[in-house]
Amino acid sequence: MLRLAVVLVCFGAAIAGRGHLRDPHRHSDSFVVSEAANDPTYKYKTDWTEPIFPVDHFSYTRTETFKLKYLHNEDSYQPGGPIFFYAGNEGAIEGFATNTGIMFDLAPQFNASIVFAEHRYYGESMPFPNNASWAKISELGYLTSEQALADYAMFLPYYKEKYSFPNDTKVIVFGGSYGGMLATWFRLKYPTLTVGAWASSAPAIYFNGGGIDVGAFDAVVKRTYLSSGCDSETIDTAFQTITKLGQTVEGVEKLNTIFRIDENTVIGLPGDNYTATDLKLYIQQGFEYMAMTDYPYPTNFLEDMPGFPVKQACERLEPAVNTTDNDLLLYSLLDAVNVYYNYSGEVQTTCFDISKCYPSTIPLSGNPDGWDFQECTEVIIAMCALGPPNDFFDSICNATTFIDWQSNYCNKIYGTVGWNKDFIRLNAIRDMYGWDFTSASNIIFTNGILDPWSSAGVNENTPGISNANNRGIYNYRIASSAHHLDMRQPNTCDPPSVINLRFQVVEIFKCWLNPTSTACPFAQTELPEVLTSFNPQNCSYIFGQYPWGESIPTIPTTTPIQTTTHSVAAGTSIVPDTSTSIGMEAGTSVVTETANTPITYTIETTTHNAVAGTTIANLLAFCFAAFLAFVA
């Protein structure tokens, strides 16, 4: 039995080849860079480091080294500017550059350099040559987050030296999804290498002891569909109908016909290679991915989809609401899930296994199971669909049975290369990084509430998160936003919540880069709510338009106290034009009685609200305080 689709959701990073249906049980770790005409393109150079990275950073008995691929752009950099660094996650690095447009958009604002580093064992950054990285467990065992973070800790000094950045150049680390987890952990593990981290859609506490229910992910999937107009009973009934039909010969024939199942993955009875369970998992993954990427404008991040795909799926289910016609119900379900799998209508069949239906399109990266391996060792995310009323799907495990189920799955994949149950370290993430941020500083956590992964983001009960702006810790829940939408290129159809969030992030960055500013620490404000009627049209990407219609805040500015002593002639009159700190009212005077009396004038510290760049001298009113000392 192949694996439950939801556990294979690579936090939105795994992209299949275009023009065919995705295997719901197995992901590809190779990104396909978007080629859609309306998608933004970004300028960067592709380079490789020297082979300086140890295969094992934490022992002295393996001396092998390898090189990393990275993408970079220094066009906006000016001396004194920072480095924007993306901590690559579970895929080829080009895909993350394509989908993290905010780094390119903000670089000119900050005179920043941009660099994306590829995660070991993904894309082309292989520790061992000729696919040997995947041949046996002794080589595969160096695929860990801890080793990847150590790579990045070596990479930043390398990058600075190679491109002649000053050693003290400040770095802000970005990451979305697993990359957001890496950005968070990098800030915790190597705090001196960066001044801050922006972690978008990072399920940083979805681990044993993190307090997240195993069914939380799919509970949010259901919530997103219901808030978009779907009828829960209709979807529940459709899944129940598939289950029932999958028990008989006549039933599976109907399923094969209605869902146009490819001849290479024909549904059979329980015990056959493919069953009704595979069909349900296929539909489940489509529903989950649509919820994750429920963006307000058309994208092809995972598949070619329209704006707000969940809403469109719900509209396609409307004809089946309250129906007793099973055929209509199932045709409507197929129509709905094809918003994800086949929005163009060009795909003729439904396929459960691309290796069988489209063998020529299987990625040649040599690393098809990288994320799965991490889930079988250190990144143990305890999640299962629990079935109604929690979600729409079948329940195949729960909090008690998850580890046994996970072990069986991992053994089927990696048993032949030497994996065993002892390789699962249930508390590895807790022990290496944890989720107590009481001593942490300068991390922005952002989660869109449409995104199922938001269920596992930090929350007000996470230690060190609440009331922590004074330490540079910020936590935002973004209305009408999906999986790291906030890190994508700004678009005319972005909801007000996302626009305001990005604006606040810029203000936080300013404080991280100039912490002595009187505007710091930045005080987080509530993001705008988004009306249910929000339905943008005619969407297009926008570039370099900060502050995106938001009002730049006034900055409290303080003039330092200045004290000057002068000697004046007898009879000189001191008349302040404002009240002084010693009680003199404006317009009153003090007359000296002795020649050359030392008089001290104190310019008081005065705070004003000023837009950045305003000349302070034009704003300050000077108050004079006089003290007369008589000379004998």
d(CA 259, CA 274): 14
Set 25, 27, 72, 483: catalytic member:
483
Set 30, 177, 365, 455: catalytic member:
177
Each as own residue / partner, the long-range contacts of residues 189-194 (CB below 8 Å, 24 or more positions apart, any chain) are 189/149, 189/153, 189/433, 190/149, 190/152, 190/153, 191/440, 191/441, 193/153, 193/156, 194/85, 194/170, 194/442
What is the per-residue burial (b if ≥16 Cβ within 10 Å, else e) of 239-253? bebbeebbeeeebbe
Structure tokens at 566: 């002068």
Q: Are 217 and 452 in contact (CB under 8 A)?
A: yes
Mention every residue, 6+ apart, whose C-beta is less than 8 A from residue 343: 303, 304, 305, 306, 309
d(CA 488, CA 506): 15
d(CA 125, CA 156): 16
Q: Give the distance from CA 537 to its chain's centroid.
A: 25
451 annotated active-site: yes
Query: How far apart, in Å, do the first and last CA atoms of the chain sit?
Result: 103
Residue with tokens 């404000």: 525
Q: How many CA atoms lie within 13 A of 389 on its CB side?
A: 0
Least Cα distance to 1 among 412, 417, 402 occurs for 412
Question: Which residues make beta-bridge pairs with 128?
Answer: none
**Whole-number CA gyration radius for the chain:** 30
Q: Are 173 and 166 in contact (CB under 8 A)?
A: no
Residue with tokens 């290369």: 417
483 annotated active-site: yes
Q: Are 615 and 595 in contact (CB under 8 A)?
A: no
Set 29, 451, 486, 494: catalytic member:
451
30 annotated active-site: no
d(CA 260, CA 256): 6
d(CA 426, CA 284): 26
Tally of helices (H runs) and strands (E runs) in the chain: 16, 16
Least Cα distance to 375 among 1, 4, 70 occurs for 4
Element (H, E) at 610: strand 607-610
113-117 and 69-73 beta bridge pairing: antiparallel
Catalytic site positions: 177, 451, 483
